[in-house]
A and B are shown apart, each in its own frame.
Chain A
Amino acid sequence: MTILFFADVGLVLLVLAIGASTIFVRKAFDAVIAFVVYGLLLAIVWVRLSAIDVALTEAAIGGGMTGMLLLGAVARLRSAELDSPRIGLRVRLAAGFFCALVASCLAGALLLSPKAIPTLAPAVMENLVHTGLGNPVAGVLFAYRALDTMLEKVVLLLALLGVWSLAPNDAWNGIPGLRVYERPSSTLTFLAQVLPPVGIVVGIYMCWVGANEPGGAFQGGTILAAMWLLVIVARLERAPSIGQPWLRIGLVVGPITFLAVGLAGLVLANAFLGYPPGYAKALIVAIEVTLTISIAVALTMLAAGPPKQEQQ
């Protein structure tokens, strides 16, 4: 029972307490704040589980971007905060019993898992040298399970299409209604002028270093998206109207590059998404760069929401 174990126990108790407060607290705003804190604590849990890439993704997307979306939603829904009829006590007890059953079955399955879990780590590391990458997670994302990563980007685009299709008819091709800071604020303007250069460098660095160390296209793209959103919220730039050609090209350049490399792999390497030997690292880096751009644009547009007003 080392000190580290007690620290882990403390961390787990904190995570569970904040997670529970997300569910049980009365006001929606408090629940959203608790959820953001929960996301950041979860990033620490991921570091303790030796999954640094996942910790970066959870902190950036799970904590940061989702928190931003939820805060915007709570601000808009504040005007409609009604006291919905609370579920009766008996239903709640039954639901609690059922959920406790599910949780304990899951916990039992975890505790009864065999000592030696079948692992793919040696197979991953053995073939990693052929891809030229040093980060096994990047190897899995872009070489072994590249189809998943490509389709994940397509899922982002589909969600964006869904969000855009919620626009009123006359606002199609218009400007997203992201809530910007209404009062002119010199402090926010100062932050939006000082932070984005740093953020862009950090985002590009994270994408570049993801080949050999924890990082990657998703984490870097999220930071770039956050910087763009900061600039829009501080009213230094307007949100782009969704009909802009450069916006749409930016959105699809990632998946199209991925798909093109995949189809070329059919010819050059005898497999869809196969890489010809010797060119693997270069192709993967090219895919990662375009994917970072597309992810940054897609996340920004997802957070900006459906178009609200006509293009001017």
Chain B
Amino acid sequence: MNLALDLFTVSALSAGALFFLAGTVGLIRFPDPLTRLHALTKVDNLGLGLVVLGLLPHANGPVGALKLVSIWLLVQLSGAIVTQLIAGAVRERGPRE
């Protein structure tokens, strides 16, 4: 049982790390602020979600698991709002660099 949980954790964390890597490569390589924002949201939602999912078996009971999930939700909320605000600013002023 422990081995299965550990395997699950390792695979979920690796998948999450893969999404982090993909998002970072997108941030560096994409030409446009809007496309870069698109790459970053993958990091926020899927990357962090997979990491949180992988850590859930090792959390401190149900309260600890709830805290982990609420961290993910808060990051998603702030990430989505900030993405909208930056995209709005880019659309108004035009891409600056």
Q: What is A's interface to B at a CB cutoff of 8 Å?
A: 183, 185, 187-188, 190-191, 194-195, 198
Contact = CB atoms under 8 A, between A and B. Distances in A.
B78 A198 contact: no
Contacts of B77: 191, 194-195
B81 interface: yes
A194 B84 CA distance: 16
Of all A-B residue pairs in the complex, the 3 with the closest CB atoms, nearest first, are A191-B81, A187-B84, A187-B81
A191 B74 contact: no
Contacts of A187: 81, 84-85, 88
B85 A198 contact: no
A188 B81 contact: yes
Contacts, number: 18
Contacts of B81: 187-188, 190-191
Given A187-B85, A194-B77, 16 more contacts: A183-B88, A185-B85, A185-B88, A187-B81, A187-B84, A187-B88, A188-B81, A188-B85, A190-B81, A191-B77, A191-B78, A191-B81, A195-B74, A195-B77, A195-B78, A198-B74
A183 B74 CA distance: 24
Interface of B: 74, 77-78, 81, 84-85, 88
18 contacts: A183-B88, A185-B85, A185-B88, A187-B81, A187-B84, A187-B85, A187-B88, A188-B81, A188-B85, A190-B81, A191-B77, A191-B78, A191-B81, A194-B77, A195-B74, A195-B77, A195-B78, A198-B74
Nearest to B92: A183
A191 B84 CA distance: 11
Contacts of A191: 77-78, 81
A183 B85 CA distance: 11
B87 to A, nearest CB: 10
A31 to B, nearest CB: 15
A108 to B, nearest CB: 36
A95 B41 CA distance: 42
Nearest to B73: A198
A198 B74 CA distance: 9
A235 to B, nearest CB: 14
A188 B84 CA distance: 9
Contacts of B78: 191, 195
